[in-house]
Amino acid sequence: MKRLFVVLLSFFVLHVGAQDLSHYKRVVKELSSAKYKGRGYAFDGANKAGEYLAKEFEKAGVDEVVCQPFKLDINTFPGKMKFTVDGKKLVPGVDFTMREFSPGAKGEYKLYYIDTLNYNSAKIFEELALPENKDVFVVCDFWFTYKHTADFKRLQSKEGCQNAGLIYTWNEPTLKFYKAYGERVIEKPMLWVNSSFPTSAKSIKLDIENEFLKDNECFNVIAKVEGKRHDKCYLFTAHYDHLGVLGKKTFYAGAHDNASGTATIVTLAAHYAKNKPEYDIYFVAFSGEDAYLRGSEWFAEHPSAPLQQVRYLINLDMIADNNPVQYCEASDEGMKGYELFEKINTQKGYFKSLNRAPLAGNSDHYPFAQRGVPCIFLMNEGGDAHKYYHTIYDTWENSLFDNYEPIFKLVVDFIEQY
């Protein structure tokens, strides 16, 4: 009878309340709040979020927290962000956004619209060379530019054409700040506008400021829970940086991307701090993911433990959606682990299915996959939250929490059985 009680008590500790939804929600809400300015590099937003996470890991009861510094070059937009077309003010993040590598611009400019139905590049460059077209902004459908890459690269160059800049139309009502990969600044301003942008406007006024941060100091936050054995280890990873700001008032909260994954590894750290694992576990919150995976690349080159000792790496990115099918990627060396994930999911029914896609360089697992580390990338997309990806609407208010507990339980079951 006493033995049965002990078994039941152990089951209760491990499985009832092991995942902490209230803690998870609290971290997501905090990280997506205005105080961190979109967890970007302007206003030191990402680093302030990293400092908060270091304290959260400490409060979770882990054995060690280390901040691993690195540097990156990044373009930001912390200053003026004014755009009017024919006298109408446009709203940053709603009506327009910047290409991540764009310089600022100030002045009044005429518009030149590309005729995509009767496209004639020779005629276009001939017209743009006329004195009356000096310093115009060229307007064109974004997807059309892919068909004529050489021409539009020429339009981006001061030597190639006398236009002052470019405006690309995005034929959808919701604009995405597509990437934060601005580790350089191009010669001419480049803006995106949504489908409401007029098709026959005469002129625009711009007062937009960028700031290029050279050797900007960032850091990864590394928490460790010591296991019973130290010859091998597990890595749980998630990136905490996001897109930052678009002017002084507009910020990208990034609740789904990726406060959700970061909050999950915080609660996993709290779980394993209370339930000693067999092997050491490192919980790594990366900065610099939205800048060409700079943080994870740095950690992969300077790991806390030799990469050969990593039994498995689990990367969590954008899990706050409600798709019953779980997207994932696995490295070649991680396929044995993936098969176990599938087996567990089939037995427990956490998700309708796992949808494994080819390995891609789209999140922080990739630098480790390239180095032969067994790993999996878990991302829930295609649900109701996906439409907010990289927009100003990826907020706490629009957060979904359906898949937190299934993800948590799937990962814990995997560690127990692998």
Q: How far is CA 67 from CA 146, 292, 363, 365, 408, in A?
A: 41, 20, 20, 19, 25
| Confidence (pLDDT) at 173 | 78
Classify burial at 373, counting beta carbons within 10 Å of its beta carbon; exposed 0-12, middle 13-18, buried 19 or more. Answer: buried
pLDDT tens per residue across all 418 residues of the chain: 444 444 444 444 444 346 799 999 999 999 999 999 999 999 999 999 999 999 999 999 999 999 999 999 999 999 999 999 999 999 999 999 999 999 999 999 999 999 999 999 999 999 999 999 999 999 999 999 989 999 999 999 999 999 999 999 988 778 988 766 678 999 999 999 998 999 999 999 999 999 999 999 999 999 999 999 999 999 999 999 999 999 999 999 999 999 999 999 999 999 999 999 999 999 999 999 999 999 999 999 999 999 999 999 999 999 999 999 999 999 999 999 999 999 999 999 999 999 999 999 989 999 999 999 999 999 998 899 999 999 999 999 999 999 999 999 999 999 999 9
pLDDT tens per residue across span 12-48? 444 434 679 999 999 999 999 999 999 999 999 999 9
Distance separating alpha carbons of residues 205 and 207, to the nearest angstrom: 7
Distance separating alpha carbons of residues 418 and 402, to the nearest angstrom: 26
Distance separating alpha carbons of residues 49 and 263, to the nearest angstrom: 12
Architecture label for domain 81-208: 3-Layer(bba) Sandwich (3.50)
| Confidence (pLDDT) at 180 | 60
Q: How far is CA 123 from CA 118, 128, 156, 340, in A?
A: 10, 9, 18, 60
| Confidence (pLDDT) at 65 | 98
pLDDT tens per residue across span 318-349? 999 999 999 999 999 999 999 999 999 999 99
User: Contact, 238 vs 262, CB < 8 A?
Assistant: yes
Sign of the C-alpha dihedral computed for residues 251, 297, 233 and 412 taken in this order: positive
| Confidence (pLDDT) at 212 | 96
Classify burial at 359, counting beta carbons within 10 Å of its beta carbon; exposed 0-12, middle 13-18, buried 19 or more. Answer: middle
Q: How far is CA 214 from CA 67, 73, 127, 289, 304, in A?
A: 21, 5, 38, 17, 27
At residue 333, what are phi and psi to the nearest 5 degrees?
Answer: -75, -15
| Confidence (pLDDT) at 197 | 95
> Is 20-71+216-417 CATH 3.40.630.10?
yes
Distance separating alpha carbons of residues 377 and 143, to the nearest angstrom: 29
User: Contact, 240 vs 83, CB < 8 A?
Assistant: no
- Tokens 């743009």 found at: 128
Domain segments of the chain as ranges: 20-71+216-417, 81-208
